[in-house]
């Protein structure tokens, strides 16, 4: 089953589609399940049978875009359809992490340098700590702008992968 987010007229709906047999799909749209028989007689022209009723759907699509123009029963809708996983990943990439960030060591090593103290204001991407592991220096940066509220790493100390190094609270 593939999950999608369908956006139309400023409203997001969750949809999932699963092929039950060739040409027939179980579609769940906004919590309502329906069986849809599907045929594509021409590129971007679809014949659908939903609950025994036939629909001809003409779709204007653009290669590589999630946006579609959908013409059905004399009405035109501008729709955006994106796989839920892809959309969630994109949101995280665009907006980045949010909220309190506990910065953890990505590997076992030694704390070579601590460059911040509690109370320091930091911008996103600021270098916080330098770890030394296998004769390599590893820079640990903050993903958000905010205030350093806790520093648990100490210079010369050792850390294991996943150990907390510091905490950054977002700026208000």
DSSP element (H, E) containing 104: strand 101-104
CA 133 – CA 172 distance, rounded (Å) = 35
* pLDDT, position 80: 87
Quick one: average pLDDT of 71-100?
Answer: 74
Indicate the fold that domain 101-170 takes in CATH.
Answer: OB fold (Dihydrolipoamide Acetyltransferase, E2P) (2.40.50)
pLDDT interval class at 168 (50, 70, 90): very high
Quick one: average pLDDT of 148-157?
Answer: 96
Q: Is the pLDDT of residue 88 over 70?
A: no
pLDDT interval class at 133 (50, 70, 90): confident
Q: Is the pLDDT of residue 136 over 90?
A: no
Q: Is the pTM of this model over 0.75?
A: no
* pLDDT, position 171: 81
Tell me if domain 2-92 and domain 101-170 are identical in fold. Answer: no
Q: Is the pLDDT of residue 134 over 90?
A: no
Phi, psi (rounded to 5 degrees) for 162 = 90, -10
* pLDDT, position 95: 53
Q: Is the pLDDT of residue 55 over 80?
A: yes
Mean pLDDT of the chain: 88
Q: Is the pLDDT of residue 149 over 60?
A: yes
C-alpha torsion sign, points 147, 151, 155, 156: negative
CA 6 – CA 67 distance, rounded (Å) = 10
For 21, half-sphere exposure in the C-beta direction (CA atoms, 13 angstrom radius) is: 2
Boundaries of every domain in the chain: 2-92, 101-170
Indicate the fold that domain 2-92 takes in CATH.
Answer: Glycoprotein, Type 4 Pilin (3.30.700)
Quick one: average pLDDT of 54-66?
Answer: 83
CA 145 – CA 164 distance, rounded (Å) = 18
Is 71 exposed, middle or buried (CB count within 10 Å of its CB: 0-12, 13-18, 19+)? Answer: middle
Q: Is the pLDDT of residue 28 over 60?
A: yes
* pLDDT, position 64: 67
């Amino acid at each position: 089953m593939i999950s999608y987010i369908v956006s139309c007229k400023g409203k997001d709906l969750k949809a999932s589609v699963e092929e039950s047999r060739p040409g027939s799909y179980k579609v769940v749209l906004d919590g309502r399940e329906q069986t849809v028989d599907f045929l594509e007689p021409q590129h971007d022209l679809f014949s659908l049978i939903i609950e025994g009723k036939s629909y001809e759907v003409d779709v204007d699509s653009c290669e590589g875009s999630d946006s579609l123009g959908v013409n059905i029963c004399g009405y035109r809708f501008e729709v955006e359809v994106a796989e839920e996983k892809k959309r969630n990943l994109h949101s995280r990439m665009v907006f980045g992490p949010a909220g309190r960030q506990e910065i953890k060591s990505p590997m076992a090593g030694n704390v070579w340098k601590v460059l911040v103290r509690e109370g320091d204001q930091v911008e996103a991407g600021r270098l916080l700590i330098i770890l030394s592991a296998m004769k390599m220096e590893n820079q640990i940066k903050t993903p958000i702008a905010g205030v350093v509220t806790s520093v648990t790493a100490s210079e010369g100390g050792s850390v294991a992968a996943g150990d907390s190094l510091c905490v950054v609270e977002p700026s208000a």
